[in-house]
Chain A
Amino acid sequence: MTRKPVDTGDPDRLYTVTGGRSRADDSFDLVTLIVSECEPKAGMQSEHARILDLCRHPTAVVEIAAELKLPITVVRILLGDLLDTGRITARHPRAARSVASLPDSALLKEVLHGLRNL
């Protein structure tokens, strides 16, 4: 791994970013696509502003975390803030979230078709 853990290894910094919260909204899957519903504004927390900037086009939660160099949990907390105030919308995956169930064959056929056409 090329990135040093220093970005996230400092609990004090994470505490500051999330306002002391450590419980995340786990309805945000790694691949939930986030779309901004407004422009970043002056005076916003800088992480919120960066997310709104990134998500002018649909952007997965995991990509936001990579771009912001923050752990997934912290990003989920920040996204919860933005969702609660209507500043983003979330497009959740339609694949079943339960561990052992398969997605339907129609979706898998679509995936196969996409892969073969790459």
Chain B
Amino acid sequence: MGSATSELPSHRTPLADAAETGLKIVIVGGFGVGKTTLVRSVSEIRPLNTEEVMTQAGVGVDETRGVATKSTTTVAFDFGRISLNERTVLYLFGAPGQERFWFLWDSLFSGTLGAVVLVDTRRMDDSWYAIDRLEHHRTPFVVAVNRFDDDTTRYSLEQIRQALALSEHVPMVDCDARVRQSGKDVLITLVDHLYELALAQEATP
């Protein structure tokens, strides 16, 4: 599942005592697309896993068939972190794109800087729902295409943009989630995009 192995030491690495501001970026994608791999390649800590429990009242129209206890359902996610400087630390969350996850978006990821939609060209359909929900939540995002070794089809970014009906304003980038520099480039593409959006917003009286 891509979240089990760990080369990094398992003891905790504390933040600097001056750390005062936490920031969030969310990486959304279907099962097995490489979210945890991307988090691991750029994180300064071994990716950790945590979860949130929804009570039935929060489940809404979610499908709960097959869930043993009626009262709660659980959404799990991985995360890593990058200390940007002594004061500021960026947390990266790898989040499942599945339907029930979006009920927790506002309680977990409101205030997120932006999102990366990680796409596997063999299972592009998995990305539709995530893109739709991000647009609904008005969260700025970029699309990163994880080029696996056996990505023989090599759809161009332009073909993928058309297949996903993405607006031309959404930046797209190729990546190899296993490679640190490539993961960094994905994050820089996103923050560059956010920076442009913020400048444009600040220029509007």
Interface residues of A (CB under 8 A from B): 1-3, 5, 8-9, 11, 14, 22, 26, 29-33, 54, 56-60, 62-63, 65-67, 71-74, 91, 93-100, 102-105, 108-116, 118
Contact = CB atoms under 8 A, between A and B. Distances in A.
Interface residues of B, number: 62
B164 interface: no
Interface centre among A30, A32, A59, A105 (most CB of B within 10 A): A30
Nearest to A5: B74
Interface in B1-48: 1, 3-4, 12, 14-17, 19-24, 42, 48
Contact of A99 (B3, B110, B191): B110
Contacts of B197: 102
B187 interface: yes
16 contacts: A22-B55, A30-B24, A60-B15, A63-B81, A71-B74, A73-B52, A93-B21, A93-B23, A94-B21, A96-B111, A97-B110, A100-B139, A102-B197, A103-B198, A105-B199, A108-B113
Nearest to A109: B195
A104 B21 CA distance: 14
Interface string B122-157: 000000000000000111100000000000000000
Contacts of A98: 110-111
B178 interface: no
A23 to B, nearest CB: 10
A30 B113 contact: no
Contacts, number: 172
Contact of A30 (B16, B20, B82, B108): B108
B94 to A, nearest CB: 10
A108 B198 contact: yes
Contacts of B90: 111, 114-115
Question: Considering residues B1, B50, B93, which has the most beta carbons from chain A within 10 angstroms of its beta carbon?
Answer: B50
Contacts of B167: none
A90 B15 CA distance: 14
Given A5-B74, A71-B53, A102 B201 contact: yes
Contacts of A63: 48, 81
B160 interface: no
B22 A93 contact: yes
Contacts of B168: none
Nearest to B52: A72
* Of A57, A62, A97, most B-chain CB atoms within 10 Å: A62
A8 B54 CA distance: 11
B139 A104 contact: no
A8 B21 contact: no
Q: Most B CB atoms within 10 A — which of A74, A93, A104? A: A93
Given A33-B20, A108-B194, A109-B195, A93 B111 contact: yes
A58 B19 contact: yes
A105 B108 CA distance: 23
Nearest to B105: A99
A2 B198 contact: no
A74 B191 CA distance: 32
